[in-house]
Structure 1
């Protein structure tokens, strides 16, 4: 069983010909304008800030960027360099062909994204990703940056945290504002006056000043519009708002919660302009404060370059990567267990808490790479399990940490557990399923599994035939899936992929596997046996979940199981006061990188239908979609399952102290 342990969890309708489908060639779908051959002499640097996406005639812009001290970098330096990258129509055609094939033949939500209705808490409009990509192919481009940015926008609009288009060439710098913001509920209300400065990194005394306007617009309206129109990650604009705003994040290196600026104040892509204008009202100042805050620019690369040509060669393209050689004889190999990192015993033990407690009334009992166990001294029958990620350095070691933490709770007479999932954007499905079963042990083998299916194409069928029962290189091995038509046994042949069924979703016909599910291994008795004696085991009244909607992927899966199947109550905090907020985001799929899929084809000695992209990249997509139990809508779009039982708002007090927040939730949960 190799699959589960390695899985990691973001116009007109055109009919798809799924089997044997290939992306259109440049001649029949693309009108990308060829690169101009005329030579342009350098022009003086513009005195006004350029608009990203507009071509710049300064041919040495990347040289200026390279020669500028990192502490003196400006927005203009980066934008000028990005706009100086020459457009190559052949590279653009290759890129678009590959991305279009990926979203036609492998991405599972291409058809579901066309849905015309979005029940609350969702607010996403129908999005035809294939149509958008084909439209890009028909457009004329002279700017390489504009071309790639249009693809990025098309993918981001899916609102799927598993779908990402990241080109190193145009994400080599981070843009940071000195002001990070939050939107607390004050005196039971959340209006424009509720937007405040969470932290002023420049230490000018603006902390907790009221932000009245941003770029001349009411601050709360500005942030809500930005979350609605620009920011991806979730179908819920209020969950996106929480991603944007400042929060506290657990730092494993220091063992404490630290302030995180949020995606609005710290961006990996070029912002809309060189600065933001703020109007602040501060309690210690009589007059309104007018601030024009330029974006600080932080380089994320150490690669050397001297001009646009060397920037393309060294940053965008980079040195060639060594391809994974095919297995002996061209046949995929299989191993029943993943290769584990051999560690010394001391490295697997729970690490001791940091010197000096961060919270006076919350003792740290056990810490790991993904979980921290706190005991509330003022509420001694309550423990807080902070699960800040499902992606530890060692999944098996983290299972031991979880058992040690729960055992420590039991030793301290804890009977109630609050699980804090804030900011947990996912990770290992295996660890997620393990945690679910440690609190609610399986009654049936499929209790920890989701009904699932996959999009089928001719190239996927070819890969699946070679993958069957022979290798752990790829995820398309039918022997790693349960055959639901005959009970709970794995597939003993390749029928899962060889016999697809036709489905019409939102007016588009596609081929799919029949419903199946991942083959989760049973939990070792060394974990289940002690868990059976804990006073909270299988008792929903003794367990609560705290989330801010930034609980993604594997975290969302755990939340779904506890709330939908085991009736555990969840408290969702933040977003917009008085509106719904999702408990979790992008919970309905498993993620795969394009480079991994290409590696599967290479390992199988098969020719991929997609060409490797010219530029270094991280392109991810959802390859396996999941359903709630007894549901027909994919979990990714099943808004009803995202609603929490309880809503809370951040306040100036609890937004900066998890200890304060935990006490509030515990007091409300167990009166």
Structure 2
């Protein structure tokens, strides 16, 4: 596709997404910074302005090493009159006390005047001003730098508190107001009206920093971190962390996994099965959703980890709460989903609610499996239940494939190996198929680009579909049922809009192909609520692809990978395309960082010639979040 501006996205996101990364990288390269932190913040926010949660830049020296909290998470509530106001969450003190323990006394004592020691009285208060401005000035300022989603409404929603089903519990998500990945603020000033009070109070709430490695709260200011000094230990921050780099490189809990949607995937499964997942520099805190906000009743048999099943009192409506498409084992995850849904059907459930709130993706095949078992075997689910895709086919990628075809990867371990891929017809690529040859040429924002798909005007559609990439999931490792479990028109997919990657692939195919209803809870009136975003087709990261190019070269030239701590050691073999010294090869990436990459794009359902990434996904229903809810 060709875009009209040098830095704009296509409709409907032209107004919301406008970032020219090439220009900004040139700007960053040409200027000096007072500290490493200032450089990191500029680089991080530059990539986040793409609003693609696959492509963010995260650095283990800074992101999430210190987490900054404010004990008053906010919510946007709609009154029965329809009026909307920002409030301190009614459950704020309960959640903060559970999460921060004795540290809550710091905030209690830091309040002044009649409010000293009465932090609990702030819960539920209406917020009139944040730092002297209308609350939505702060909301929209955060939406401009938070990244991850194209839609403005979804980025606004990330400012507020929400929840997520994790592998072990129902977790409270503080929202971007109350939790930040860096100590970029020291305090916030709120003008509030407390519950059952006509008085207007102005409160100053200090921000507190938590250090994740030592599980403690140091006295830390922004200036101390910018100087890369820990107040208590007096050692440069990044220098200290790099000392453990070699150990971290050999751990399955490497930074890529740290920043991916939780729970963490077994490395062997992550390598064997394609993944489409957000990278997040704000991991979930250890804060359990208050019991009064958790689903009532006992989870049904089949419930496990992020997949939980419940029966509503009408005995015909089931709720499938799915916090992630990631899990430790793909096969076990798929079996749990099937067992839970079959149990609900056996119990008489005919209406299904799938709650994907804050689901940032995971296994692509898990998303396609869920689609397939709900709707049964039909043209939209067999031979593939997902979307056709295309891959970037730049000059270096073409050289990688040519090297593999010439014998560089005899064991078929590399991502670019044709043995890994299929046509959209579910037919495997032929052996030694140079699948990036003859790419389609495009111009995007004035920059030439190329993709794996080639259309030939005189060919029939079937031929064209054969030139697209299909999914690599079917046949599944588990046999799916031969009939639909539910009528897809009686399925509702519910979230706060924060459903991405594999979650988007599932939601889009169910909504656009099967007629499932979509519901977004909360959000600002007058702002379109998208039921999902950040689609992709498969995501990866710089180190994974870079290692495929250079692996054996690095071993032979360096003797070890200690200088490259975040290369995936599971992939270090004698095989490599040996393009390290090629002029097109990127430089070595030697920081404690992860750069995400959208490796494949999925074609749209309604506009089949363009990526689904940039097509509209308005929710069928926008359900206001009320005080009672």
TM-score band w.r.t. shorter chain: 0.7 to 0.9
- CA distance in 1 between counterparts of 2:236 and 2:476 reads 54
Structure 1 match to 2:167: 252
- 1:521 maps onto 2:473 in alignment: yes
- CA distance in 2 between counterparts of 1:206 and 1:322 reads 42
CA contact (8 A) 2:77 2:86 kept: no
Shift of 1:297: 0.5
CA contact (8 A) 1:588 1:627 kept: no
- CA distance in 2 between counterparts of 1:315 and 1:206 reads 38
- CA distance in 2 between counterparts of 1:594 and 1:338 reads 15
Shift of 1:279: 1.1
- Cα offsets for 1:13-53 (capped at 9, x unmatched): xxxxxxxxxxxxxxxxxxxxxxxxxxxxxxxxxxxxxxxxx
- CA distance in 2 between counterparts of 1:392 and 1:487 reads 26
- More deviation, 580-589/548-557: 580-589
Structure 1 match to 2:560: none
- 1:187 maps onto 2:80 in alignment: yes
Matches within 5 A, 1:544-555: 544-555=492-503
User: Of residues 173, 190, 193 in structure 1, which corresponds to 2:66?
Assistant: 173
- 1:456 maps onto 2:456 in alignment: no
Structure 1 match to 2:620: 645
- CA distance in 1 between counterparts of 2:31 and 2:440 reads 35
- Cα offsets for 1:252-301 (capped at 9, x unmatched): 324xx343211221111232x31110011012445222111111110022
Indicate how the Cα distance of structure 1 residues 313 and 213 shifts in structure 2: closer, same or farther if over 3 A, else same.
same
SS in structure 1 of the partner of residue 315 of structure 2: coil
Shift of 1:592: 1.0
Shift of 1:419: 0.9
- CA distance in 2 between counterparts of 1:286 and 1:533 reads 56
- 1:394 maps onto 2:334 in alignment: no
User: Of residues 492, 514, 539 in structure 2, which corresponds to 1:566?
Assistant: 514
Structure with larger RCO (C-alpha < 8 A, sep 6+): 1
Structure 2 match to 1:617: 593
- 1:149 maps onto 2:149 in alignment: no
Shift of 1:450: 1.9
Structure 2 match to 1:262: 175
CA contact (8 A) 2:389 2:602 kept: yes
- CA distance in 1 between counterparts of 2:440 and 2:187 reads 52
SS in structure 1 of the partner of residue 38 of structure 2: helix
Indicate how the Cα distance of structure 1 residues 357 and 270 shifts in structure 2: closer, same or farther if over 3 A, else same.
closer
- Cα offsets for 1:610-649 (capped at 9, x unmatched): 33334311221211111213423322211x2x11222211
- CA distance in 2 between counterparts of 1:397 and 1:407 reads 15
- CA distance in 2 between counterparts of 1:562 and 1:464 reads 34
SS in structure 1 of the partner of residue 469 of structure 2: strand
Structure 2 match to 1:314: 240
CA contact (8 A) 1:481 1:516 kept: no
- More deviation, 443-452/502-511: 443-452
Q: What is the CA RMSD across the aligned residues, in angstroms?
A: 3.3
- CA distance in 2 between counterparts of 1:135 and 1:194 reads 39
CA contact (8 A) 2:88 2:123 kept: no
CA contact (8 A) 2:72 2:89 kept: no
CA contact (8 A) 1:181 1:198 kept: no
SS in structure 2 of the partner of residue 170 of structure 1: coil
SS in structure 1 of the partner of residue 92 of structure 2: strand
Matches within 5 A, 1:45-444: 114=6, 116=8, 119-120=11-12, 123-171=15-63, 172-192=65-85, 198-200=91-93, 201=96, 202=104, 203-219=119-135, 221-254=136-169, 257-271=170-184, 273-302=185-214, 310-316=236-242, 318-320=244-246, 359-360=295-296, 364-376=300-312, 378-444=313-379
Indicate how the Cα distance of structure 1 residues 209 and 399 shifts in structure 2: closer, same or farther if over 3 A, else same.
same
Indicate how the Cα distance of structure 1 residues 253 and 607 shifts in structure 2: closer, same or farther if over 3 A, else same.
same
Shift of 1:198: 4.9
- CA distance in 1 between counterparts of 2:442 and 2:341 reads 45
- CA distance in 2 between counterparts of 1:167 and 1:145 reads 10
CA contact (8 A) 1:380 1:413 kept: yes
Shift of 1:446: 4.7
- CA distance in 2 between counterparts of 1:116 and 1:310 reads 40
CA contact (8 A) 2:441 2:448 kept: yes
Shift of 1:384: 0.8
Shift of 1:366: 3.0
SS in structure 1 of the partner of residue 480 of structure 2: helix
Structure 1 match to 2:418: 478
Shift of 1:122: 7.1
- More deviation, 301-310/408-417: 301-310
Indicate how the Cα distance of structure 1 residues 594 and 525 shifts in structure 2: closer, same or farther if over 3 A, else same.
closer
- CA distance in 1 between counterparts of 2:528 and 2:292 reads 38
CA contact (8 A) 1:480 1:519 kept: no
CA contact (8 A) 2:52 2:147 kept: yes
Structure 2 match to 1:632: 609
CA contact (8 A) 1:465 1:494 kept: no
- CA distance in 1 between counterparts of 2:292 and 2:122 reads 29
- CA distance in 2 between counterparts of 1:113 and 1:388 reads 37
- More deviation, 600-609/259-268: 600-609
User: Of residues 433, 441, 454 in structure 2, which corresponds to 1:502?
Assistant: 441
SS in structure 2 of the partner of residue 474 of structure 1: coil
- CA distance in 1 between counterparts of 2:86 and 2:62 reads 36
Structure 1: gaps spanning 5 or more residues: 1-108, 325-334, 341-354, 655-671
Indicate how the Cα distance of structure 1 residues 652 and 258 shifts in structure 2: closer, same or farther if over 3 A, else same.
farther
Indicate how the Cα distance of structure 1 residues 281 and 620 shifts in structure 2: closer, same or farther if over 3 A, else same.
same
- CA distance in 1 between counterparts of 2:91 and 2:608 reads 41
- CA distance in 2 between counterparts of 1:233 and 1:543 reads 26
CA contact (8 A) 2:128 2:134 kept: yes
- CA distance in 2 between counterparts of 1:309 and 1:321 reads 20
CA contact (8 A) 2:17 2:51 kept: no
SS in structure 2 of the partner of residue 528 of structure 1: coil
SS in structure 2 of the partner of residue 636 of structure 1: helix
- More deviation, 490-499/144-153: 490-499
TM-score (norm 2): 0.74
Structure 2: gaps spanning 5 or more residues: 97-103, 105-118, 216-228, 251-267, 274-290, 454-466, 552-572
